[in-house]
Amino acid sequence: MTINVKQDWKDIVHRCFRCGYCKFTFEYSDFNCPSYKKHRFETYSTGGRMWLIYGIINGDLQWSQNLANVLYSCSTCGNCMENCRFDKFNDFLVDIIEAARAEAVKNGFCPEKQKALLERTTNTEMFNPYGEPNSDNEELKKKYNLPDKAEWVYFIGCTSNYRQKNLRDATLRFLKKINLDFTLIDEHCCTSPIIRTGQIEPVKEFMNYNIDKIKEVGATKVITSCAGCCRTLKVDFAKQGVNHDLEIYHTSELVKRFLDEGKIMFTSEFNKTVTYHDPCHIGRHMGLYEEPRDVYKQIPGIKFVEMGRNRENAWCCGAGGGVKIGYPDWAVEISKERLEEAKETGATILSSTCPFCRTNLSDANDKFNLGLEVIDLIEILDQLEIKVNE
Partner 1 sequence: MSNAEVLSKLEQIVGKDFASNNQEDLFIYSQDPGVSHPRPVDYVVMPETVEEVQQIVRFANDKKIPIVPMGGGMTLSGLVIPIKGGIVLDMKRMDKIIEINETSRYALIEAGVTSGKLIAHLREKYPDLQAPYPDAPPSITIAGNALIHGSGYLSQKYGDHGAMINSLEVVLPNGEVCKVGSCAISNYWFTRGPIPDLVGLFTSAFGTMGIVTKISIKLFPKPKLRDIVIGLIKELNTIPGLILNLTKTDIPEDLMIALAEKPDFMKGYAILLLYITGDSQDELDSKTKILKKIYRKNKARFMKLPPRYYDVFLEQPQFAAKAADFRKGGGFEYVGSFMPLGKIPEAIEKARDISLKYGIVPTQVSRIIGRGHNVMFAASYSFNRADPEDMERARNALHETNKMVLELGGIPWKAERDGQKLIIEKMDPNYKMLFKTIRNILDPNGIMNPGNWEV
- Span near partner 1 by CB under 8 A; candidates 15-23, 161-169, 227-235, 371-379: 15-23
Question: 14 or 387, CB closer to partner 1?
Answer: 14
Site residue total, ligand SF4 (CB under 6 A): 26
Applying CB under 8 A, among 7, 37, 86, 370 the residue interacting with partner 1 is: 86
Identity of the residue numbered 335 = S
Verify binding: residue 25, ligand SF4, rule CB under 6 A: no
CB of 21 to ligand SF4, least distance (A): 4
| DSSP assignment string, 97-130 | HHHHHHHHHHTT---HHHHHHHHHHH-TTT-STT
- 32, 79 Cβ separation under 8 angstroms: yes
Task: Report the partner that residue 77 touches, choosing among ligand SF4, partner 1, none (CB closer than 5 to 8 A by kind).
Answer: ligand SF4
Applying CB under 8 A, among 41, 261, 262, 329 the residue interacting with partner 1 is: 41
Give the SS3 label for residue 275: strand
Task: Report the partner that residue 24 touches, choosing among partner 1, ligand SF4, none (CB closer than 5 to 8 A by kind).
Answer: partner 1
| DSSP assignment string, 16-60 | -----GGGB-TTSSSB--HHHHHH-SGGGSHHHHHHHHHHHHTTS
Task: Report the partner that residue 75 touches, choosing among partner 1, ligand SF4, none (CB closer than 5 to 8 A by kind).
Answer: ligand SF4
Question: 171 or 232, CB closer to ligand SF4?
Answer: 232
Applying CB under 8 A, among 9, 16, 315, 382 the residue interacting with partner 1 is: 16
Task: Report the partner that residue 356 touches, choosing among ligand SF4, partner 1, none (CB closer than 5 to 8 A by kind).
Answer: none
Give the SS3 label for residue 247: strand
CB of 113 to partner 1, least distance (A): 19
The contact pattern for partner 1, residues 44-83, with x = CB under 8 A and - = no contact, is ----x--xx-xx--x-xxx-x-xx--x-------------
Identity of the residue numbered 212 = D
Measure the CA–CA gap between 89 and 79, rounded to whole angstroms: 14
CB of 166 to ligand SF4, least distance (A): 28
Give the SS3 label for residue 20: coil
- Span near ligand SF4 by CB under 6 A; candidates 68-76, 206-214, 267-275, 366-374: 68-76
- 282, 77 Cβ separation under 8 angstroms: no
Question: 97 or 229, CB closer to partner 1?
Answer: 97
**Which residues lie across from 155 on neighbouring strands?**
224
CB of 123 to ligand SF4, least distance (A): 29
Query: β-strands 349-352, 221-224: how paired?
Result: unpaired
Verify binding: residue 193, ligand SF4, rule CB under 6 A: no
Alpha-carbon distance values, 326 to 113, 318, 334 (Å): 6, 11, 14
- 250, 282 Cβ separation under 8 angstroms: yes
- 314, 278 Cβ separation under 8 angstroms: yes
| DSSP assignment string, 55-77 | HHHTTSS---HHHHHHHHS----
92-151 residues in contact with ligand SF4 (CB under 6 A) are 93-94
Q: Taking CA 22 as the corner, what is the angle to CA 16 and CA 27, rounded to the nearest 5 degrees? A: 145
Measure the CA–CA gap between 357 and 335, rounded to whole angstroms: 9
| Residue ranges binding partner 1 (CB under 8 A) | 14-21, 23-24, 27-30, 39-43, 48, 51-52, 54-55, 58, 60-62, 64, 66-67, 70, 85-86, 89
| Residue ranges binding ligand SF4 (CB under 6 A) | 16-22, 33-35, 46-47, 49-50, 74-80, 84-86, 93-94
